[in-house]
Structure 1
């Protein structure tokens, strides 16, 4: 057996036992994205989308599970991302200027693992307003919550707090859905003790959730 024949046989055998090359593609036509993967890891699929879209991908090293992805997705960018990361904890940051409004600026992986649904003790059952509740009550509730959470958002963005516009939905009492300006102060009226206690607890939970998200985003930025 000649040396040349032996070398050719070795190369042929290596080609037979080598695993198939995984492939990933992310293309965009106007606002429609086509993302396909033939066995590539989730991290590689996200990186391919990031490279094409131009947003910042933060926290990729947090992925505790980086499964192989067999998929062929089509849709808007937020839709494709949500389907790829179904079950994972992540946040999407959109542009705030007129030029970037509606565009994804950052994709932040928070925990890096698939989340679990809350148990019954953690679920908050929604309650419809009593028939006698007025539109003004709904507006006061929205105003109080907005004043609690908006300063945290403005502080994180380095913006001085001015006014906040909140869309109020009072369909349970026949109210309108018109936005309400809540930044000018004024008299909020008097609510009964039980309602005030419920509002205080709801506000505390909303503020805690927002602070947790802000802290996660800051930690992700520092780790990037």
Structure 2
């Protein structure tokens, strides 16, 4: 093999490697996090929240969701709303320090809620509503830890803590921000409005996620095929010239 042909083969290998790397980089799904909606509630009150679970994979469905409640701030009342097609299991844990609520002593609280038996297909999301209370007054947020199990047995652990002012972790734990009753009603309402707009944008992105990912993959594959075709043509031309 002469020097010209060796250089052509090397260029073809490099171009192919770069193109293949582009496929791996761009073919990933449009990521969205497991979150609690709305993201804000009043301290000391009751609230209905939803655990929003988007399916991030193109080739597997979400088949189980586990939500672990904040052990530092137990809630006396946690009631899940029925979700069609899904079974729900509520687990309780004995409290080291009993709670006083409406003149009664509460010595156990819900520590975990699990939804299973249903399916969230690629490009879709599901909301799992919960009625929770009485919300604590001695903290500004409740942190939940969620586990998302896929049909291919992959488990995504949404448990990473978030640092104020720091970079967002890869799998942040869902949080519920708690505000003082009445004092921050206006700002909380404004924030809820922004959260609603952001949630609507997320919904659009999630709904388009699967088709958008497929389009990107097909586009990049087309580029790779074209680049390899050009490289093959250059190599063939050099072969003819050498001959």
Output the TM-score relative to the length of structure 1. 0.29
More contact order relative to length (CA 8 Å, sep ≥ 6) = 2
Name whichever structure is richer in strand by fraction: 2
Name whichever structure is richer in helix by fraction: 1
Output the TM-score relative to the length of structure 2. 0.27
